[in-house]
């Protein structure tokens, strides 16, 4: 069988948190195009339902929407139960939901700091742990966490200490879980995107005014697009990446190289 066929995900079951829009939607669409059934998990159930319908109607796989806040363990557990009740198994988990706050470190409140860590790091822990507990029983599964180039570099000029710390945490959490599960068939990797033109960036008034400055610093001179993360997502979800675990894939147009 050729490589393109071996990369297909026919019959697999995946979920994507933060899957209603942006990077998560691009990932969900990509794994569906490769043949996986998919659960779109988001706080925003209306948008998640729209995305699930779009995927089911245009691609033909089964797609469902589930409302869950990744910071609430009971909601994460309920989300896993819905997936198992619907599909009977779970092959691929994309723990992708995340937020950014740009507040100087000297002014950030404990509550603001905790909120970013809670969604971006604890949320990834809770969703990847819940997924892993199903996959460990199955003896197979692939978990892919969305980190960021901000886990490697300090972005400027905007102040975002909590975000940077949370994403560095996601990279180490990923490696730690990969080591614990390596001999049990469960792989854990992360994707670290550079600046990508999604709502998180384009719709935030304090961020969109910085785009020209970022582009001036960027070796490629532009933002990335969500679709430019699709191939790595399909690769990590599928069986051709069976030797790939504990890795972080920086997809940032060389932004973090200097």
Which residues are designated catalytic? 148, 163, 167
99 binds ligand NDP (CB under 6 A): yes
128 binds ligand NDP (CB under 6 A): no
Cβ proximity to ligand NDP: between 56 and 204 the closer is: 204
Cβ proximity to ligand NDP: between 45 and 136 the closer is: 45
Q: Can you count the helices (H) and strands (E) in the chain?
A: 11, 7
Phi, psi of 138, rounded to the nearest 5 degrees: -75, -25
196 binds ligand NDP (CB under 6 A): yes
Binding to ligand NDP in span 15-54, by CB under 6 A: 17-18, 20-24, 42-44
Q: How far apart are CA 177 and CA 39, in angstroms?
A: 23
Q: How far apart are CA 235 and CA 69, in angstroms?
A: 27
Whole-number minimum distance, CB 55 to ligand NDP, in Å? 15
Options 69, 142, 171, 250; binder of ligand NDP; rule CB under 6 A: 69
Find out whether 41 and 66 touch, Cβ atoms under 8 Å: yes
198 binds ligand NDP (CB under 6 A): yes
Nearest to 127 by CA among 160, 65, 170: 170
Q: Where are the alpha helices (DSSP H) in 151-249?
A: 161-181, 199-202, 205-208, 211-217, 230-237
Whole-number minimum distance, CB 197 to ligand NDP, in Å? 7
Options 193, 214, 233, 253; binder of ligand NDP; rule CB under 6 A: 193
Binding to ligand NDP in span 202-241, by CB under 6 A: none
Whole-number minimum distance, CB 135 to ligand NDP, in Å? 20
Burial state string for 198-230 with b = 16 or more CB within 10 A and e = fewer than 16: bebbeeeeebeebbeebeeebeeeebbebeebb
Phi, psi of 62, rounded to the nearest 5 degrees: -85, 130
148 binds ligand NDP (CB under 6 A): yes
Binding site for ligand NDP (CB under 6 A): 17-18, 20-24, 42-44, 69-71, 96-99, 119, 123, 146, 148, 193, 195-196, 198-201
């Amino acid at each position: 069988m050729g490589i393109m066929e071996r990369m297909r995900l026919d019959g697999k079951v995946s979920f994507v948190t933060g899957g209603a829009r942006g990077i998560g939607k691009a990932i969900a669409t990509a794994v569906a195009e490769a043949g996986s059934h998919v659960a779109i998990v988001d706080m925003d159930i209306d948008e998640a339902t729209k995305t699930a319908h779009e995927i089911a109607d245009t691609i033909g796989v089964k797609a469902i929407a589930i409302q869950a806040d990744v910071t609430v363990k009971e909601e994460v557990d309920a989300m896993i139960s819905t997936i198992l009740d619907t599909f009977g198994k779970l092959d691929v988990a994309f723990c992708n939901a995340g937020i950014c706050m740009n507040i100087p470190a000297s002014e950030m409140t404990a509550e603001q700091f905790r909120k970013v860590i809670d969604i971006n790091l604890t949320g990834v822990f809770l969703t990847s742990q819940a997924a892993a507990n199903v996959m460990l029983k199955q003896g197979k599964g692939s978990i892919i966490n969305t980190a960021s180039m901000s886990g490697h570099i300090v972005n400027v000029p905007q102040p975002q200490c909590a975000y940077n710390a949370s994403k560095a945490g996601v990279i180490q959490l990923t490696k730690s879980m990969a080591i614990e599960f390596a001999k049990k068939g469960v792989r854990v990797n992360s994707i670290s995107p550079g600046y990508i033109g999604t709502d998180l960036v384009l719709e935030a008034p304090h961020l969109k005014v910085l785009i020209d400055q970022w582009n001036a610093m960027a070796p490629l001179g532009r933002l990335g697009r969500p679709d430019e993360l699709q191939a790595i997502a399909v690769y990590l979800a599928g069986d051709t990446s069976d030797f790939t675990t504990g890795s972080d894939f920086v997809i940032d147009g060389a932004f973090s190289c200097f």
